[in-house]
Amino acid sequence: MASEVKTVALSGYYGFNNSGDEAVLVSILTALERASKDHGVAIEPVVLSGDPETTTKLYGVKAVHRMKPVDILHTLRSADGLISGGGSLLQDATSAKTIPYYVGILKLAQWLRKPTFIYAQGVGPVQKELFYPLIRQAFNKSAYISVRDTESKQLLGRMGLDQQKVQVVPDPVMGLRLPEDRKHQSNVDERGLPYVGVSVRYWNDDRSDLNQIADMLKEVVAKKQVHLRFLPFHGGADEEASTLLMKRLGNVKAEGSAMSISPAYAHPVDMLAEVARCQLMIGMRLHSLIYAASQRVPVLGISYDPKIDQFLNRLDSQAIGSTKQLDPALASEQIVRVLDHLGDWRMQHQDAIDRLIDEAERPAAEVVRILKSRT
């Protein structure tokens, strides 16, 4: 029986119908639950969410709105600590407001004398160096710092942070587990065609990246009969990108292949089950690749951001192309080659995947240990 109860606030990109970020949240929550049992401490999470009602409904935890200052202040004042992460929170590629928001939450918690924990974050890109001291100061005052790749650690070093304080750990989603009753699904459709997962998003304004991916997939179905299963990881936007790509592919049935699109699931485990039944994952979305690797599904990434390359590096792999440059003929050859030799891919990358899965819950254990020591 747990002898203590510790309330922990969680700050991240939660409550925005993004399967990858929701998977980060679920992974952290479940890792904290397992670590709390090991240490005899009950953890009561409170999530700062863009949609608190849905967060509570999906995961059975308390949640408050991430943009309501009074609620945030009350939550942090009542909490025993704050977890910031995971995900790519501290970057200014998508908005100049992102870093000030997340650093502001950290500094408010520190002002309230609460321990703060940086949980498996992917830091960067940070194009404006004026953000360097803000990040450095907030991290220096944190009780624990972990990042999901060496590139993030090196960037923190360039900001002036002592790198000895920083642990490199896997993305939390590498520890996400599929329930037993969702395992062992067929990885072929009713016609016996192998499922090939495809995760795309809008990136290039002129859609040149999607055009190249369409050409690549056309060459794949010309060489091998498959069932292309499009997986929208970020709600409506990814559904639109997937639908556009399907239209550009045309009639794949003429080649003996098939294609379909999955629902944009609200709960990450439902999308994880979709990924698990694929024989191969072709992904732009980072978490499509992480989902697949966690289920030992071979992955072939298309890079739009350094975080894709950084994750693939940790798998001893590299992207088959990028949104700037993708050779449809060469990429399609790689896809068909992996499909024809799935066992070889798994053997080649097994050790790297096992290591990432084993280490994925280390930050949760550190958070619980530190909280317990502050009794």
- Burial class, 336, CB count within 10 angstroms (exposed 0-12 / middle 13-18 / buried 19+): middle
Q: Can you give 231-257 as a three-state secondary structure string?
A: CCCEHHHHHHHHHHHHHHHCCHHHHCC
| Closest-CA residue to 177 (of 366, 284, 42, 31) | 31
Going residue by residue through the chain, which has 375 residues, state the pLDDT in tens, using 9 for 90 and above: 446 899 999 999 999 988 889 999 999 999 999 999 999 999 999 999 999 999 999 999 999 999 999 999 999 999 999 999 988 999 998 899 999 999 999 999 999 999 999 999 999 999 999 999 999 999 999 999 999 999 999 999 999 999 999 999 999 999 998 888 888 889 999 999 999 999 999 999 999 999 999 999 999 999 999 999 999 999 889 999 999 999 999 999 988 999 999 998 989 999 999 999 999 999 999 999 999 999 999 999 999 998 999 999 999 999 999 999 999 999 999 999 999 999 999 999 999 999 999 999 999 999 999 999 987
Q: CA 123, CA 259: separation in Å to the nearest integer?
A: 36
Instruction: Give me the amino acid identity at 101.
Output: Y
CA quadruple 141, 146, 150, 151: dihedral sign: negative
Backbone angles phi, psi at 10, to 5 degrees: -120, 125
Question: 145 in helix, strand or coil?
Answer: strand
Tokens read off for 101: 């928001």
Q: CA 129, CA 162: separation in Å to the nearest integer?
A: 17
The string of pLDDT tens digits covering residues 289-317 is 999 999 999 999 999 998 999 999 999 99
pLDDT at 184: 80
**In the chain, what are the domains?**
4-169+360-373 (3.40.50.2000), 180-356 (3.40.50.2000)
Straight-line distance from the first to the last Cα atom of the chain, in angstroms, rounded to the nearest whole number = 17
The answer to whether residues 131 and 106 touch, using CB atoms and an 8 Å cutoff, is: no
| Closest-CA residue to 361 (of 294, 288, 285) | 294
Q: Tell me the β-bridge partners of 80.
A: none
Collect all residues with Cβ–Cβ distance below 8 Å to 273 and sequence separation of at least 6. 178, 182, 185
The string of pLDDT tens digits covering residues 18-60 is 888 999 999 999 999 999 999 999 999 999 999 999 999 999 9
CA 11 to each of CA 1, 76, 185: distance values in angstroms, whole numbers, following the listed order: 28, 11, 34
Pairing of strands 195-199, 227-230: parallel
Instruction: Give me the amino acid identity at 90.
Output: L
pLDDT at 1: 46
The neighbour count for residue 253, using CB atoms within 10 Å, is 10
pLDDT at 3: 66
Rg (the chain; Cα; Å)? 21
CA 248 to each of CA 49, 210, 262: distance values in angstroms, whole numbers, following the listed order: 36, 9, 18
pLDDT at 2: 46
pLDDT at 312: 96
Instruction: Give me the amino acid identity at 245.
Output: L
The answer to whether residues 183 and 214 touch, using CB atoms and an 8 Å cutoff, is: no
Give Cα 198 distance to the centre of its chain. 16
Q: CA 239, CA 230: separation in Å to the nearest integer?
A: 9
Given strand 81-87, what is the order of strands in its sheet?
62-65, 41-49, 4-11, 81-87, 116-121, 144-147, 166-168
